[in-house]
Structures are given as structure tokens and as C-alpha cells.
Chains A and B, each alone.
Chain A
Amino acid sequence: MSEYYSDFLRLLTQWQYKLNSLVSGNLRELENDPVGGVLTLLAIAFAYGVIHAAGPGHGKALVGFYFLKQGGDLKKAFKMGYMIAIVHAISALLLTFVVYYLIETLFTKAFHNIAHISTIISAVLIMIVGLYLIYEAYKHRRDRDEEIQISGKSDFAVAFSAGIVPCPGVMTITLFAISLGHILTGIATALVMSIGMGLTISLAGIIAVGVQRRGGNAFGKYGYLLEFFAAALIITLGAFLLLSSFSHVKGHL
């Protein structure tokens, strides 16, 4: 299996490398053909987003476990994917602008520190969401004969906790575009790339919804067990994320 998985990563990486150089090349050549150039760029950025989010991270696990617990439908999965992508894009855009215009430090260092700090925040938030979902599952078990109204609050909490880590890919593209003077194109590229990522993240939700429907039915009236299990997975996910953020703090380029 590990052979297939690393082949899969190798392929994803090669595609991303190709798309990444297409984006940088097109941004550099933008003066020659502004309209066609921007359209080509946006198309590439969309594909880059789809493929980029297929790799590890980007809140797919959280979305998966969340829908495993909560259940849902296609619409909810898409909504969640896009909420995460929007938070992801906004945090990346904001931080890139802050780093570029306001902070006097090395970009390479600033990017690394941002990734580190936001990962810690995200990990803590994910654990809190997990604890809240345990509480919900407990309530669900207690009142299982009644219809439970699930509030949209936890949807936002999930999207926020997963999306708050800015995507370094989006940050790098935005910074590159600003540095060449293409500020608006940079923002548009970042947004379109995030739309692409939203699609992939939604797919994680859709898969989980499918699993939950089958699993939920199989568990019957003990469906709440699946809920506890999924909420526990979310807490574990947050804990692992926190641990991993402390294991390697410096040294990467």
C-alpha cells in the first residue's frame, strides 16, 4: 500500500510542480496578453487548487469525521467544503498582505512562523469542536427518541477551525503576484484556487456522508456509538496536529 500511496503523492507533486510553474510563468508574461493571460491563469489556478487539496491536510479529515458523526447530504458537504475554502483563502490573503506591507522581517521566516502558530490555534480549536461534538452525541443518546435539531453553529466552528491555517500554496502565489505588481490578479488567482480546493474538500464530506448513511443504518438505534467514535477521532486529530506542530519548529525553507 505504501508503494501506491507514495506513487500517488509523487504524481500529485509532479502535477503541482507543473501547475505551479505554469502559474508563475503566466504571471510573468501577463503584460503581453492581459485578458487571455488572466483567463489562462485562473483556469490553471482552479486545477492547481483541486489537486493541491487532494494532498494531505486542508481539513479533509476533520470534514470527513464531522460528517461521519453528524450525517448530512450533498448540499451540506458542498457548503462545508466551500466554507473551509473561503476561510482558508481569506486567512491566506490577509496574512500575505500583512506580511508584505506591515511586517519588516524575512518572508521565508514569517511564512514559517505563521504556519506554526496557526497550526497550534487550529489544533486547539479542533479539539474543542471534538469535545463539543461528544457533548452533542451524549445529548443525542439521552434524547434519542426525540427529534434533535442540529444547529448550524458547529458547522461554522468546524469550517473555522480547519480553515484558519492559511494555505501556504495560496500565500506563495499571492506574494509572488504582489511582488510583480499584479495585486488584483493575485487576489483573483487566490480565490479561484480556493474554489478548486473547496471542491476537493467537499468530496471528503460526500464520502463521509455516504459512509455515515450505511454505518448509521447498520448501527440502528445504537447510531450514537458512531457519533461518539467520530467525535473521539476529531479530538485525536487535533491532538496529533498539536504534537506534530511541536516536533519540527525550525529549519525548513
Chain B
Amino acid sequence: MRISILFLLSMITLSAHPHSFVDVYPAIDEESITIRWEFDEMSSQMLIMDFDRDHDGSLSEKESGTLYKETFAGLKEFEYYTYFYHDGKKIATPESDSFMASIEEYKVNFYFTLPRPEGTTEIRFYDEEMFTAYLLKKAFIKMTDKSRSFELKKLDGDYFFGYILELR
């Protein structure tokens, strides 16, 4: 019964289904949070075809720069799908101050750093529209801020899912 209700719900929801999958590896220190996005092989291949112009299997500084301009820079508007909270209240996501892209084992990786807003108690990861599925596991998280510990929780939206990284 439950399955059929869920199926019916999925019939009437219009939001997109993910066709890109990204593993999110956050590293948290006192001042900032550095994130690595690892794209699935198919999305990676598309990015490689678009931006590895000399087909040498790696992204030069120039290629990485073009990739930044064409893809990542536009994600500021979407707060890089990374949302900061202080005691349940949302804080604006600061602009990323570094970006680098690389190809490792057929997979494209984005590395970027966000300043950690003061008083952050939670960082949430999701794409509300589920165009891209951002996936997080406890083992992906690195905590170098020794004054804090963390807990990873599920985030249940109405038509999407995400993750909450709680800082303690």
C-alpha cells in the first residue's frame, strides 16, 4: 500500500529526477570549509568533452578556468547547493574564494573553498530541484577543527532529499 501511495506521489510531482550524481566530500576547519565534488563517470565524460580541449586527460589551468566560468561561477546564485545555518536560521552562503578542477580515474572533481560563516551550527547539502543528486556519507567528511565534533543527519524535503551536517 505504502509503495503504491509513493508511486502515486511520484506521478504528480513535477520536479526533475537526477541525471547527474555527485559525491560530496567536505573538509571542515576553523575558518572555512573545503568541498570536493566527485561527478559520476557519465557527467564527467560530458565535462571532459567540453573542457579538456587538448584531450590530454587532464585539465590545465586555462581549461579549468574556462570550466569555472562556464559552470561553477553560475552556481553562486544557487549557493553552491551548500547552505549554512545558525540555530535553525539560514545564513547566506559566502562566495567561494578558490576553485580547481581535475580529472581522476575518468571522474571530474571540483575543489572549492567557502569561508565558514561565524556561528555556523549546521551545513545542509541538497539540490531542491533534484537535477543533480548530491550524496554525502559519514566517511566522506573530514573534520580538522578539533574544537568541534559533527553528526550527519538526513534532510527530508517535500519533494527532495538532502543531508544535514550538524556541528557540535
**What is the interface of chain A, defined by CB distance below 8 A to chain B?**
1-10, 12-14, 16-17, 20-21, 23-25, 28, 52, 54-58, 60-61, 64, 106-109, 111, 168-169, 172-173, 175-176, 179, 203-204, 207, 237, 240-241, 244, 248, 250-253
Contacts and interface: CB of A to CB of B under 8 A. Distances in A.
A169 B13 CA distance: 18
- State the main secondary structure of chain A at its contact with B: helix
Given A4-B2, A8-B6, A108-B46, A250 B11 contact: no
Nearest to B3: A8
Interface string B119-138: 00000000101111101000
Given A7-B161, A251-B75, A253-B43, A172 B19 contact: yes
B77 A251 contact: yes
A237 to B, nearest CB: 8
A13 B155 CA distance: 15
A56 B42 contact: no
Given A17-B133, A176-B45, A244-B14, A3 B74 contact: no
B70 interface: yes
Interface of B: 2, 4, 6-21, 40-43, 45-47, 49-50, 70-71, 74-75, 77-78, 106, 127, 129-133, 135, 154-161
Contact of B132 (A2, A175, A253): A253
Given A2-B158, A6-B157, A20 B21 contact: yes
Nearest to B155: A6
B142 to A, nearest CB: 22
B2 A240 contact: no
A228 B141 CA distance: 53
Contacts of B133: 13, 16-17
A17 B41 contact: no
A119 to B, nearest CB: 9
